[in-house]
Amino acid sequence: MRSVAPALLLTVTALAACSGTATPAPAPPRTTAAATSSATAAAAASPVAGCEFYQAADAKAVLGAELKPAPKLTDNEPGKTDTKFTSCVYWTADDQRYANVGYRRALTPAGAADNRSQFTRQRTADAVAVAGVGSDAYWDTPNGQVLVLAAGDALLVISTGIKDAPKAGRSRPDTEKLARLVVAHLPG
């Protein structure tokens, strides 16, 4: 019997991508030596705490349009202790197109194992490998998204698209481009 977890992961991520806008939370003060020594990275990082790995320039490079000032942040698995799964969605200023990155960080060895398992279980027979992104990555054809197993056993679920359009209409080249850009900013 198939687990419902993969479907839940896809559904939660899709809902986060298509939901409305939220008021951005203030960014935490940067006090580490690494953060203070990299003013350029700090300026380019998302203004929303929890989305620091995802830069507006990445979304703009893929969407080719002006963006809303801050991404919408959604905690997709509140209360979980083995993983932290957030979605950060940049919308175009006209609210018609989006670039979504779901980032599921492993907090424990059990969380790392679960991320690897989710990544494997969601790979369908028609998945297409995406070379050069993270430890392993593929285009999930039925759901129109790229899944990436990244450093530290983080799982990324990345999609781009048009508001209210079917998953089948999502752009594989745009989504793969976004995956490459975002993975370059990940810690570790």
Instruction: List the CATH number of the domain containing 176.
Output: 3.40.1000
As for how many domains the chain has, the answer is: 1
Residue 30 inside a domain? The answer is no
- Examine residue 27 and state whether it is found in any structural domain, yes or no: no
| Sequence-ordered alpha helix ranges (H) in the chain | 5-18, 33-36, 39-44, 56-63, 109-121, 172-183
Query: What is the layout of strands, in order, in the sheet containing 97-106?
Result: 72-75, 83-91, 97-106, 154-162, 145-150, 136-140, 128-129
Quickly tell me which residue has 């907090």 as its tokens. Answer: 107
Mean pLDDT of 132-149: 93
Model pLDDT, residue 130:
96
Is a pLDDT exceeding 90 seen at residue 110? yes
Percentage above 70 pLDDT, the chain: 74
Whether pTM > 0.85 for this model: the answer is no
Mean pLDDT for the chain? 79
Q: Is a pLDDT exceeding 70 seen at residue 22?
A: no
